[in-house]
Structure 1
Amino acid sequence: MTRIVVAGPRGKMGYEAVQLCIKEQDLTLVAVVDSKHDGMRLSDFPEFSDVDVPIYTEMDRCFSEQNVDVLVDLTTPAFGKKHMEIAFLHGVRPVVGTTGFSDQDISDLTRLAEEKQLGAIIAPNFAIGAILMMKFSQLAARYMPDVEIIEQHHDQKLDAPSGTALKTAQLIAQERQPKHQGHEQEVEERAGARGADYEGMRIHSVRLPGRVAHQEVLFGGEGQTLSIKHDSLNRKSFMPGVKLAIDQVLKLETLVYGLENLID
């Protein structure tokens, strides 16, 4: 039985993670960490009436008082790194769905994980279909190096481009040389019209109510185009990936950035 703490249970992803822990027979939720309601029980809230676990506002105290194997952190970029560092200090393996980590953050956290010989996973996207989209795009880039990325999310998302779009661009960049796309003399009549530039690739971010998580990778070639697209229609789509990450993090002694590294 794997003992889980969920950080951010009142968010939409956090709610689904709590339900995952209730549904899966090999997982048990021992506590949650929230920004408020310290000392209350999660069952005090109508949507969690059957989930009787304590709520903590201090992660350090939570880990000191509870026996925890894995932290599932679905909070915000401002807290993700701090929570991982606290988890390592207590021998807890973090699975983090928060994006916005810098390259230096990843390097620092990898060093901590290896010092403690603890597994850790940061996943810009938990949807298995999205991971396959990224891997397919990386393969396509070997043969069609002209590419742009369009990602769409709900209007409450904090970071742009999304972690998935940046991870996709990084994987594609491993297969193509940096190159300027478009006319050599093209001019943006409005700044940002061509999107963010990553080694010559353009990344376009859309933020609208009603969206969940969507990405299309467009490749162009002589007389042809290729579109690789993934849509998450609700947040349940992320839970198989969360379960995969929980199972795999117990076998690791370093940090893995991206679920694509866990899928052959």
Structure 2
Amino acid sequence: MENKTIRITVAGPRGKMGAETLQMISETPHFELVAAIDNKNDGLVISDINGLPDLNAPIYTDIEQCFSNVGTDVLIDFTHPEAGKAHFEAALAYGVRPVIGTSGFTNDDVKGFRSRIEEKGSGGIIAPNFAIGAVLLMKFSQFASKYLPDIEIIEQHHDQKKDAPSGTAVKTAELIQEVRQMKQQGHPDEQETIQGARGAEMNGIRIHSVRLPGLVAHQEVIFGGEGELLTLRHDSMNRKSFMTGVRYAVDTVMTIDTLVYGLENILD
């Protein structure tokens, strides 16, 4: 049986993730790009923008005007936290199901949006990382932490990323926290002779952020035990690596009636 066509609006079409998402939509038979939300280029179409796919979907600067004029099933958002939250609000108001790849949503944000989305009988997904391998790394790390509770996370991203640590690193630490008791690592009298040398701390776990040109998205989770080390690592070489997860999230969000935070919660 053929999949029903899913009408999609993309917020942030000129960003690297947004542009890759447009290409993915154009290559997916049951996806249709119906509009894009941009902070400029109002009234143009996607094909008018250099470097974007040859698609005739209109561009809006006003998301409410977009949703009023164009029937949309799913909003895919790769913008920034402030815009992402505003776009989430608009999606709620117009009955559009959001798939958000923007980090910066707090646990309180997620709880509040989940309550409201369930009241409307709708669904939504917020995911810090859409790479299937990165999500598996989170799940494997959670399992390993039961047996090797001394842990440090090193995440590496391109130098244009604005938030640190990454949403993936924070989500990894949160998953570990669910099964690992609080443990203060290192020497009890440890002192940083240069502030920040030991990285950020979350529930006793140290998180280190690296920002360099040439990187895309990479994470190591290192576990230390008596006489042994275990290192789990994931590398995204390009942004196409995220598209399998984005496609899966769009298909899944049409079938749920709650807000899911983290792609690991919808993987079989």
Taking structure 1 as the reference length, the TM-score comes to 0.99
Q: Deviations over 1:60-118 (max 9, x none)?
A: 11000000000000101121111011001100000000001111111111111111111
Q: 1:225 aligns with which of 210, 229, 240?
A: 229
Q: 1:60 aligns with which of 49, 56, 64?
A: 64
> 1:236 aligns to what?
240
- Supply the distance in 2 between the matched residues of 1:46 and 1:82 (Cα, whole angstroms): 27
The one-letter code matched in structure 2 to 1:195 is G
Taking structure 2 as the reference length, the TM-score comes to 0.97
> 2:157 aligns to what?
153
Structure 2 regions of 5+ residues with no counterpart?
Answer: none
What secondary structure, in the 3-state scheme, does the structure 2 residue paired with 1:252 have? coil
- Supply the distance in 2 between the matched residues of 1:91 and 1:15 (Cα, whole angstroms): 25
> 2:41 aligns to what?
37
Alignment coverage as a number of residue pairs: 264
The one-letter code matched in structure 2 to 1:164 is T
Contact 2:47 2:55 in 1 (8 A): yes
- Supply the distance in 1 between the matched residues of 2:127 and 2:175 (Cα, whole angstroms): 14
Q: How does 1:197-208 map to 2 (within 5 A)?
A: 197-208=201-212
Q: 2:188 aligns with which of 181, 184, 187?
A: 184
The one-letter code matched in structure 1 to 2:235 is D
2:178 aligned with 1:169, yes or no? no
2:192 aligned with 1:209, yes or no? no
Contact 2:23 2:53 in 1 (8 A): no
The one-letter code matched in structure 1 to 2:232 is I
- Supply the distance in 2 between the matched residues of 1:147 and 1:48 (Cα, whole angstroms): 42
Report deviation, 1:46: 2.9
2:9 aligned with 1:5, yes or no? yes
- Supply the distance in 1 between the matched residues of 2:220 and 2:29 (Cα, whole angstroms): 36
- Supply the distance in 1 between the matched residues of 2:177 and 2:127 (Cα, whole angstroms): 19
Structure 1 regions of 5+ residues with no counterpart?
Answer: none
> 2:263 aligns to what?
259
2:252 aligned with 1:248, yes or no? yes
What secondary structure, in the 3-state scheme, does the structure 1 residue paired with 2:125 have? strand
- Supply the distance in 2 between the matched residues of 1:49 and 1:260 (Cα, whole angstroms): 30
> 1:137 aligns to what?
141
2:18 aligned with 1:14, yes or no? yes
**What RMSD over aligned residues (CA atoms) do the two structures have, in Å?**
0.7
The one-letter code matched in structure 2 to 1:100 is G
What secondary structure, in the 3-state scheme, does the structure 2 residue paired with 1:9 have? coil
> 2:117 aligns to what?
113
Contact 2:177 2:203 in 1 (8 A): yes
The one-letter code matched in structure 2 to 1:117 is G
Contact 2:150 2:224 in 1 (8 A): yes
Calculate percent identity across the aligned residue pairs. Answer: 59
What secondary structure, in the 3-state scheme, does the structure 1 residue paired with 2:41 have? coil
> 1:72 aligns to what?
76
